[in-house]
Amino acid sequence: MYILNMLKRNSLLIALIIVMIGFELVIRCTGHGSLFSPQNFTNIIYQNSYVIILAVGMLFLIIGCGNIDLSVGSIVCLIGAVAGVMMVNNNCNIYMSMAVCLLLGMLIGAWHGFWIAYIRIPSFIVTLAGMLLFRGLSLIVLDGITINPFPDEYLDIFTSYFPAISPDVLADYAGKTFDEMTRAEVKAATYGIVFAKTMIVTVVIVAVYLIGIICGRVSKIKKGYEVEPMYAFLFKHVLILVAIVASSILLGQNKGIPVILVLIATVVLIYAFIANKTVVGRRIYALGGNEKAAKLSGVNTNRLLFLSYVNMGLLAAVAALVCVARFNSASPMAGTGYELDAIGSCFIGGASAYGGVGTVGGAVIGAVFMGVLNNGMSILGIDANIQKTVKGLVLLLAVVVDVMSKKRVSN
């Protein structure tokens, strides 16, 4: 019984592992390379960075009241357009431009939140109107043309790697001047330094993670809280640690740890803490579970709903800044379909369409699941229309499982 419950709790993670192994076998057997090649693994991180950021924001809307935001793709396009006009066309300071973009995202979220939380217009209508409104504004700002390239200083913020390798560092590693080094020696020195420093960072991360989970479990036991069985505890965390170490090895074999991965990890950790360890997080779950009961308990439900949309606007702005850096351009077509990827990631990750249920970790796994599907099918050369069909079926299956499990519990 315990084993069955453990498998149920970690079913999505197990499904992700099975899908990744399946794609790897098919890709290798068909001679298309490898899903786990260092370069492709880094590409998966870049390709899904915006999805993870948007999914975290979308999750708080879904668990808070079962709402969604259909306009996030258009917001990404508009914020990217504003960033392009400021940084490229007008040579504005990049940090001031980023601050303006983040503020604009929050204002857009406040616009949605006002109509939804206080006027009580259905979120579907408000965000659908926003999708059209902000896409139109994007076209006006861009005048229908693509703006590029962005300043190198800005691109380095989102597209650089750790550790950064300078010629002096390579020369010290090789024991000779940089001019004396051959191309092969430069490549070998770069690989050696990057891999070594990546592994050092990994050791630190693993140590901090182990200390955190052990202290957390001991604290719960001392306070008399119920804890999961040891084998379930070990199973889950061993899987996570193996994933961390394997990912680090692949990154170390390429260019190191992408800065965008650090940004994603920061966003995920902050919002996981908010959801699980703060009063605001508990109130959001209460709002999604039963809004009337939450209101009678003293929760200002209107303000909480309003702030959830402000937060969604903020994260959409962050995703926009990431996207324009990745593509090195602000395009009128940017953000197309992003809202569907974010919503799909949340539902695949276990969020309930009725609200009150979902985790940040589940949304991240759902986003990675969608990313692996996209990347694996692209490597295999599967037609784009078939890819959309598969993603649609996976999303439907995730919601069906959620609905059926709720019916089983109620019965």
- pLDDT (0 to 100) of residue 385: 83
Supply the Cα-derived Rg of the chain in whole angstroms: 23
The burial of 24, by beta-carbon neighbours within 10 Å (0-12 exposed, 13-18 middle, 19 or more buried), is given as: middle
Q: Where are the beta strands (DSSP E) in 132-217?
A: 161-162
pLDDT, average across residues 137-152:
91
Cα angle value 341/60/49 (rounded, 5°): 40
DSSP 46-104: HHHHHHHHHHHHHHHHHHHHS---TTHHHHHHHHHHHHHIIIIIS---HHHHHHHHHHH
pLDDT, average across residues 360-380:
88
Residue 3 has pLDDT above 80, yes or no: no
**63-76 burial, b for 16+ CB within 10 Å, e for fewer?**
bbbbbbbbbbbbbb
CA distances from 98 to 196, 240, 372 (A): 33, 34, 30
> Which of 103, 119, 62, 56 lies closest to 302, judged by CA?
119
What's the mean pLDDT when you consider all of the chain? 86
| Of 406 and 201, more confident | 201
Q: State the residue for tokens 């036991």.
A: 221
Kindly give the interhelix angle for 72-84 and 123-142, rounded to the nearest 10 degrees: 20
- pLDDT (0 to 100) of residue 203: 94
257 has which bridge partners? 162
Residue 82 has pLDDT above 90, yes or no: yes
Asked if 317 and 102 touch (Cβ cutoff 8 Å), the reply is yes
- pLDDT (0 to 100) of residue 229: 78
Lowest mean pLDDT, pick from 2-11, 104-113, 229-238:
2-11
- Among the ranges 231-240, 318-327, 343-352, which has the highest mean pLDDT value? 318-327
pLDDT digits (tens, 9 = 90+) for 275-290: 988 999 999 998 887 8
- Among the ranges 32-41, 64-73, 117-126, 282-291, which has the highest mean pLDDT value? 117-126
State the Cα–Cα distance between residues 103 and 109, nearest whole angstrom.
10
pLDDT digits (tens, 9 = 90+) for 22-47: 888 888 888 888 888 888 888 889 98
